[in-house]
Amino acid sequence: MASIDDVARVAGVSTATVSRALSGRGMVSEQARQRVQEAAASLGYVVSSRASGLASGRTRNIGVIVPFLDRWFFSTVLSGVSTALMRAGYDITLYNITPDREVRRHVFDTFLRRQGVDAVIAVSIALDDDETRQLLDLGLPIVAIGGPHPQLDTLTVDELAVARLATSHLIELGHRDIAYIGAGPQFDTDFRVPTHRRRGFETAMSEAGIPLHPEMLASADFTIQGGHRAAVELLTSDESRPTAVFAASDEMAMGAILAARELGIRVPEDLSVIGIDGHEMGEFFGLTTVDQFPLQQGERAAQAVLARLGEGDAATPPPAASPYALVVRGSTARV
């Protein structure tokens, strides 16, 4: 295995120059940097993160805390985080916060301190006062996605505004009998996303002077299967059938489209369907959605962390408010 001395010998420079050239820290001429990089590539030399950490005081490792690993939204955010950090030469250590309070406590009490990370990214996790204090006591840059959090740098999404936009799109198409598929109380944790999305729906309906009917509300679990079950319930009810469905996630909206097809209800001729998220399968389903750009959310969180670490091109942190946009496809139409 090639050593730093081998790289220095082939490049014709000192080991100190090799270290500066490959770490990106310190002054090195462009000519010397190119010779070092070519020598390292020819020898298959890779900088040891442990050695680099000893020299710089950093581990080049970022801790990422997430509530779910098996949900599309979170895995997409993680992909954005990972891609941006790897591009900057950082590794990630992943911490999955489970419903088990003991596991959660150990993440904050032990794991984050033991791994010696340079910064922390918390994805859609509401931190209590004790957890926030423990993170702040680490003395590290901390960026949260979801928020807002008064004590942490947070990249926020206005969930209420997102839901209002989705509902308003249906109203502008002339729909008045609009059903809502949300989520049950067990999913209303952390930043209370289900509650904010339902309030956005209710606000848009109220502003348009459209009454809310309990039979037009159904709960699911943010999955295609859950959305399918809820839509069947809504579309086979003895009460009046909706002309449109707003599902609080794209996966539930996809389930609603599948349910409509099974029941012989045409989308969008007989039923318009809209979701939220920007799921990668949305285009396949022809789903109208409010895209929250989850991949970019992850990239922006990584950029924010890198900016706080003073890394290169990311020295300026991104704005705190995350963008969203209505994407109109074939699942919605005028009444």
Q: Where are the beta strands (DSSP E) in the chain?
A: 61-66, 91-96, 119-123, 142-146, 153-156, 178-183, 217-220, 244-247, 272-277, 288-291, 325-327
Q: Round to whole Å and give the CA distance between 160 and 203.
A: 9
**Mean of pLDDT over the chain:** 85
296: nearest Cα among 261, 324, 274, 330: 324
What is the distance between the alpha carbons of residues 274 and 293, in angstroms, rounded to a whole number? 16
Tokens describing residue 71: 């949900």
In this structure, what token pair is assigned to residue 137?
């006591």
Q: What is the pLDDT of residue 318?
A: 64
Q: Which two tokens stand for residue 227?
A: 């959305």
Q: Could you check whether the bond before residue 148 is cis, i.e. omega within 30 degrees of 0? A: yes
Task: Decide: helix, strand or coil at residue 5.
Answer: helix
Name residues whose C-beta falls within 8 Å of residue 142's C-beta, 6 or more positions apart in sequence: 119, 120, 121, 122, 135, 136, 152, 153
Token pair recorded at residue 189: 């944790």
Distance of CA 47 to the CA centre of its chain: 30
Residue 334: both structure tokens together: 């005028």
Per-residue pLDDT at 314: 53
pLDDT digits (tens, 9 = 90+) for 132-163: 888 788 788 888 887 667 777 888 888 899 99
Enumerate the β-bridge partners of residue 277.
291
User: Do 276 and 166 touch, CB atoms closer than 8 A?
Assistant: yes
Q: Which domains does the chain have, with CATH numbers?
A: 4-56 (1.10.260.40), 61-156+295-314 (3.40.50.2300), 159-291 (3.40.50.2300)
Structure confidence by residue, pLDDT tens digits, 46-96:
665 445 544 445 678 898 988 888 888 889 999 999 999 998 888 998 888
* Nearest-angstrom CA–CA distance, 33 and 18: 8
- Name the phi and psi angles at 25, rounded to 5: -115, 130
- Which helix H or strand E contains 326, and what residues bound it? strand 325-327
| pLDDT of res. 26 | 63
Residues with pLDDT less than 70, the chain: 1, 23-26, 46-58, 113-115, 147-148, 184-192, 312-319
Of 13, 20, 65, 64, whose CA–CA distance to 39 is shortest?
13
Residue 287 three-state SS: coil
Residue 262: per-residue pLDDT: 97
Q: Tokens for 114?
A: 């033991």
Backbone φ, ψ for residue 65 (5° rounding): -105, 125
Q: If DSSP codes are grouped into helix, strand and coil, which group holds residue 211?
A: coil
